[in-house]
Amino acid sequence: MGAGLSGLACAITLEKNGIQPTIFEKRSRIGDRFVNGEVLLSIFTRPVHDCIASLSEEFGIYLQPTSNIQKMTIISKNEKAIIEGQLGFTNIRGREEDSFETQLSRQVKSPIHFHSEETYEQLLANYTHVVLATGDGHYAKKTRNFREDLTVSIKGATVEGEFDRYAVMTWVDYDIAPYGYGYLIPFSEKEANIVIAIPDIPSNRGVELCERWEPFHQKVRSELGQPLSITDKFQITNYPMGICKSARIGNTFYVGNCFGSMMPFMGFGQYAALLTGVYAAYDICGLGKFEELSIPLRQSYENSLVLRRTMEHIGNQDVDRVIRMLQGYLGKKLFQTKRLNPLKIASYLMRPYVKYKQGVTS
């Protein structure tokens, strides 16, 4: 139920093991959504360092990213850190022929039923197994199997300019995006995606996303010294982020964002989404238990949630200190040492602080 990353990864894996699934998609085509850029950062996929190679070698899923990331600039209110090395990959999502969804669709042989109005209940009555891959947590919430931890509002645009396709940029400046962040991801040397994301938390009550957009756009223009004219735009309000209570209930499998693959800390979770699809297929084929295989993904989500909560209890001065440290030896160590899992280490160190701050505010 859904022909996005996780649904198509599941279908491909089922086909490789001799099972032909039927795929239902409510939209008119693969990737029939807004165009946006995303990243696969190795710092968030440890112990896997090269997730594109891992997907092909371990799971037979072949993806061509837009580029590999060799430079990442992180900008806070008063500081800037530049990290260099083999940091991950950029890619396009949405209605583009090179988007990850479209690439996966070319690897699927099973029929895809577009404009589907089939409900979960109807599919459950007609098929032995149902894989919920609807792209967000709404359907998982409807089946009362989803713990919503927060919602986030996002506004983005495609801009024209001159870009280094091997470099990405992110802003963590609470004057612009309170307790949130912004980023720039190039599609090519001529186009890029800029996005601002603000969590819908009590501290942000009264904050208007549209009012924050223009200062962010101006900040990016100033940093790059370019006008960055907008050619396309999108906005999402109150997008739910959370995790399923059970990865499998009966013969229903929750994958992708129905599982909880989107990481609360910085929003991305494509690698986890793909793995949930693969692991659900493994379970259906008798090659493993979905609940057990997805334990590391669930732990990564919880670790990311700790860092998300940490962001909600610090200010610009604290962010400046972190960015200042990343500019030196610590940044190089975290991003380039393959043996460390920075997400796990940071969440472990910050748990007592988050518990204390939550206790004070309650």
State residue 348's pLDDT score.
Answer: 73
Q: Can you list the alpha helix ranges (DSSP code H) found in the chain?
A: 5-16, 51-59, 100-105, 120-126, 138-142, 209-224, 270-284, 290-293, 295-311, 316-326, 329-336, 342-361
Length of the chain equals 362
362: pLDDT strictly greater than 60? no
- Is the pLDDT assigned to residue 161 strictly greater than 80? yes
The mean pLDDT value of the chain amounts to 92
- Average pLDDT, stretch 211-229? 96
Q: How confident is the model at residue 44 (pLDDT cuts 50, 70, 90)?
A: confident
Q: With 80 as the cut, is the pLDDT of residue 347 above it?
A: no
Average pLDDT score over residue span 95-116: 94
pLDDT band at residue 95 under the 50/70/90 scheme: confident
User: pLDDT tens across 177-204, in order?
Assistant: 999 999 999 999 999 999 999 999 999 9
Structure tokens at 171: 């802003």
* pLDDT at site 170: 97
Q: Which tens digits make up the pLDDT trace of 56-83?
A: 999 999 999 999 999 999 999 999 999 9
The CATH class given to the 5-361 domain equals alpha beta
Beta-carbon contacts of residue 5 (< 8 Å; ≥ 6 apart): 100, 101, 104, 256, 270, 273, 274, 277
Domain ranges of the chain: 5-361
Q: How confident is the model at residue 126 (pLDDT cuts 50, 70, 90)?
A: very high
Name the token pair of 79: 């500081």
Percent of the chain topping pLDDT 90: 79
* pLDDT score for 135: 86
For the cut 90, the answer to whether the pLDDT of residue 346 exceeds it is no
- pLDDT at 224 (0 to 100): 97
What is the pLDDT, as a whole number, of residue 136?
85
Q: What is the pLDDT of residues 138-154, one digit of tens each?
A: 889 989 999 999 999 99
* pLDDT for residue 308: 92
H and E: helices and strands count for the chain: 12, 13
Q: Decide if 249 contacts 255 (C-beta within 8 A).
A: no
